[in-house]
Structure 1
Amino acid sequence: MRTNRSALVLGTLVLAAGGVLAGAPSAGAAAAESNCNYIADSARPTVHPGDKGNNVRQVQCLINFYSNYSEYLTVDGDYGQNTAAGIFYVQTCNGTTGGADGIVGPSTWSRLYSPKAACAL
């Protein structure tokens, strides 16, 4: 399903801020943490292409808060091509340790929760 990502993020931020637009990346991260609850925020297991389950759902949900990423992911728990493309975007934009390898490890988890400003807005 495709949707206007900017409108989705903007609407989420406006609601999260009680009707006041909050454009800082931390506001997006706070919204992501409150809406993406498939696993505990402190649980950050390594996720690989082909994996399935709640770990993947968490990754997919967090990618959807990247308003500069053009594809809205269906949160289905299946790490396929669309999820891989989202992870490559996150890794490339943020310059994660290890480069863009498609594996969600500590550096990628960190950037999923706390993206660089240019990557999230």
Structure 2
Amino acid sequence: MITLGAALCTGSLLVLAVPQIAGAASRGCSYISSTFRPTLTYGQTGPAVKQAQCLSNKWGGQPPKLAPTGVFDAAVLKKIKWIQGCHGLPESGVIETRTWQALYHPVLDCYNPYPA
């Protein structure tokens, strides 16, 4: 019998949990491959922006749902900055490697209030 401590030491528990979280977050968001993660900034358009919008909707709480329009507008910018803050990332509003990681692996609860 494997104990919890042994599973944590071997990483077995982590290996089992990560794919389930990643799959759950990206379920229904198939505008681009989950491995294609371009840097996105305010004003850009296209399927990668749609993917970011869709993934941002996997977050619970107060933030409004974003329609997957493919336009990186003020509403997307506001929500991305909030998500970055929830993950302890710089609130730049730029979707880069660490922000994509946050989008695919959302925190369960964010205690940062959503800006009015």
Residue 49 (structure 2) pairs with residue 56 (structure 1): yes
What do residues 13-46 of structure 1 show as CA deviations (whole Å, max 9, x unaligned)?
A: xxxxxxxxxxx99766423322111110011110
Note the 1:1-121 alignment, pairs <5 A: 29-96=22-89, 99-119=90-110
What is the identity percentage for the equivalent residue pairs of Structure 1 and Structure 2? 33
- Give the letter for the 2:35 counterpart: S
Q: Is the 8 A contact 1:47 1:103 kept in 2?
A: yes
CA distance in 2, matches of 1:61, 1:29: 14
More relative contact order, 1 or 2 (CA 8 Å, 6+ apart): 1
Aligned length in residues: 94
TM-score scaled by length of structure 2? 0.73
What do residues 54-108 of structure 1 show as CA deviations (whole Å, max 9, x unaligned)?
A: 0100000000000124211011000001111110111011112xx0000000110
CA distance in 2, matches of 1:89, 1:83: 10
Larger radius of gyration: 2
Change (3 A) 1:104 1:30: same
- Report the RMSD for the aligned CA atoms in angstroms: 2.0
Unaligned 5+ runs, structure 1? 1-23
Shift of 1:115: 1.8
Q: For residue 11 of structure 1, what is the aligned residue in structure 2?
A: none
CA distance in 2, matches of 1:58, 1:41: 9
Q: Is the 8 A contact 1:26 1:114 kept in 2?
A: no
CA distance in 2, matches of 1:25, 1:93: 19
- Give the letter for the 2:39 counterpart: T
TM-score scaled by length of structure 1? 0.70
Unaligned 5+ runs, structure 2? 1-16, 111-116
